[in-house]
Every structure is written in C-alpha cells, then in structure tokens.
Amino acid sequence: MNLPALALPVSGYRCLLAWWVDRLDQAGCREVHVIVNDRADAEQLRQLLPPMDGTGPSVEIEPEAGRWRGTAGLLHDVTRSWGTTMPLLAIEGACLPPPDLDHLTRPVRAEGDLAWVGLCSNRRPVGLTLLDAAALAQVPSIGFYDMKEQLLPALYSAGCGARAVQLEHPGGRVRDRLSYLAAIRRGEETMVCGATDRGRWRAGACLVHPDAQVDPSAVIHESIVLAGATIGAGAVLSRAIIGPEVTIAPDEVVRDRVATLRHWARVENAG
C-alpha cells in the first residue's frame, strides 16, 4: 500500500508511531528518534503524528543518512552526536508495542552487561533491544555492521554481557494483511476511529480512518479502511484492507483482499 508500517492506523491510534510514542511515554522515555528510508516517509509520519503538547517525549523523524550500514551501523551513526550516556532502546519499525516495557527498560543488570535482547516465548527476538551507550563504541565508523550477526557477537567476544530478556506479552510484527488484522484484534473487539455512524458494524475488529468516506449502508466486517478511501452504498467488506484513495463501488463485495490504488485501477480497467 506504499505506506511505512509506522504510518498504519492501529489500535485506536492515528498511526503505529503514535501508539509507540504513547507507550514509550508510559515507560518514562523522554526522547524518540525515528529513522525511515527516505524524506517522503519522514514527511508522511510528521503529518500523521498529533501535535506535541510538551507533556510527552520529544519526537524527531529523519531519513536514513547512509545506505548499507546495517542496524548497528545506523544506530552508531545517528547517536554519535548526541553526547549521552543514557541507554538506547532500539525498536524495529514494524513491531507492535508490548503491554509493558519494564522487563526490557529496567532489566536485571550484572557487571559488564551492555545489551538486552527482547525475546518471545519461543525464544525468538521480537525486534526490541536495549543497548548501553558503550555498546555502540564497538561499531566501526564505516562499512556494514549488523546488530544480531556482528554487534552482539562482538560484545560477547569482548567479555561484555548480552542478555536475553523474555517478554511476557510481546507485541508481534506487522508484516502482511493477516498480521495487520491481528494487530487490530488486539484492541477492543470492535474498534472505530471517528464517528460510529460510518457504517454497519458486525462482530470482529474494524478500523476506519477518520479521513475515509463510508456510506452508512455499507457493511464492514473485520476490515480496515485507510485515509482517503471511499466505500459506496451497500458495499460489503470482510477481512479486507482498503488502501488510501481506493474507491469501492456501491454494492461491491471485497473479501479476503488487500485493495491498493494501483491494483484496483487495473481491475477496473480490465472490467
């Protein structure tokens, strides 16, 4: 849908980034730095975030400065000018916030520990890593340097601790239509952004962006309608994601599909 994961509306928030900012605020974080692929993604996220009122963390959004640096290389490059000794929580952009970050942001520390990697119940990483500022000193200033394949082994070889922290309820990742719908289901059983008279709602989790136009006679079941979409009279959506600016004709049925502007235009032209 040509949207970065952080721009997707989810769980009652205008976008995933806003959900993360709220959760990080609850965890006591005062600064949030967001690194995205390019300037277009950065501008889109800036427009989606609600205005900062000074009570929560500051949020800086910027495009990636250099390519092919790897996760650890990128973290090294963007933090070297900060001049802080505070730990850094590195978050994969497609991750969903877990209910409680305390297990990771306030881990049990032992002498020499410089990294704490969040794991789910099957012992797989969940995309959340807490790094001591000294950990990034191991990263070279040039070349590709990955977090899992290079930084963590380098810390271990240097005699520094890199500990696993199991999270009781990890948030998971948004990777495709099914995982996106699962993210919505984590909220209330039925979730509507904006007025509740935008359509007839059946059982299941639904989300309609405030900037979408939905005819009151439309039926929406376990589906997501993004900004700028138009849903015609009598249309039926079931387990579908309707992308930005897509128009669903009156009485049209969309089931188990992702409707993007480009794909839907091809279908209409073929018809």
Residues 6+ apart with CB under 8 A from 266: none
Distance CA 142, CA 217 (A): 58
**Structural domain count of the chain:** 3
For the stretch 117-123, contacts whose Cβ atoms lie closer than 8 Å and that sit 24 or more positions apart, written own/partner, are 117/152, 117/162, 117/163, 117/164, 117/165, 118/165, 118/166, 118/167, 118/170, 119/164, 119/165, 119/166, 119/167, 119/170, 120/166, 120/167, 120/170, 121/166, 121/170, 123/164, 123/166
Same domain, 220 and 265: yes
Residue 27, domain extent: 1-64
- pLDDT recorded at residue 197: 39
Token output for 87: 């730990």
Same domain, 185 and 171: no
Q: Which residues of the chain have pLDDT under 70?
A: 1-2, 11-12, 108, 185-204, 262-271
Which residue do the tokens 């930084």 mark?
151
Same domain, 166 and 206: no
Beta pairing, strands 200-201 & 219-221: parallel
Beta pairing, strands 224-225 & 230-231: unpaired
- pLDDT recorded at residue 226: 86
Same domain, 2 and 30: yes
- pLDDT recorded at residue 59: 93
- pLDDT recorded at residue 150: 94
CB 208 within 8 A of CB 226: no
- pLDDT recorded at residue 60: 92
Q: Where is the domain boundary, 107, 140, 175?
A: 175
Which residue do the tokens 């501008």 mark?
43
Q: Which helix (H) or strand (E) holds 118?
A: strand 113-119
Distance CA 123, CA 134 (A): 26
Q: Where is the domain boundary, 154, 175, 196?
A: 175
